A = this chain, B = another copy of it.
Amino acid sequence: MARAATTEDAFNAVAEPRRREILDALAAGERTVGELVDRLDLAQPHVSRHLRVLREVGAVHVRDEGRQRIYSLNAEALKPIYAWVAGYEHLWAERFDLLEDVLDEMKQQDS
């Protein structure tokens, strides 16, 4: 079996840096494909392809306006990523919770 398709889920779609750049750009507001091409310094077909991947995982929406297509962010598609990684956050975050510190000290005294 080969690697999972980038359209498999948000995790795979977002593994590509250019696609994260696109999402970052859209976080500031809707953009036209041409605007994204300018901003990313990437050929238009590549931008269109990345947008397609993002569309397939539901991370962006499109709206037709004349001969332009206006892309907008759908951040909810990133929820599963946040949900997963947030479960790890407490493992590196500094603890400001005093109770937790006290409990740690008690454990040390026990051992």
Q: Spell out A's residues near B (CB within 8 Å).
A: 3-4, 6, 11-12, 14-17, 20, 23, 27, 73, 75-76, 78-79, 81-82, 84-89, 91-92
A23 contact set on B, CB distance < 8 A: 88
- What is the minimal beta-carbon distance from A73 to any residue of chain B, in angstroms? 7
Whether A88 contacts B92 by the Cβ 8 Å rule is no
Kindly report how many copies of this chain are found in the complex they form together: 2
Main secondary structure of the interface of A (DSSP, over half): helix
**B-chain residues with CB within 8 Å of residue A85 when the two chains form the complex:** 78, 81-82, 85
Residues of B with C-beta under 8 A to A75: 88, 91-92
For A82, give its contact among B11, B27, B86 (CB under 8 Å): B86
A84 to B4 Cα, complex, angstroms: 22
Residue in B20, B84, B91 whose beta carbon sits within 8 Å of that of A84 in the complex: B20
Contact across chains for B78 and A27 when beta carbons are under 8 A apart = no
Please name all residues of chain B whose beta carbon is closer than 8 Å to the beta carbon of A14 when the two chains form the complex.
Answer: 11, 15
B89 in contact with A82 (CB, 8 Å) = yes
Nearest B-chain residue to A84, judged by Cβ: B20
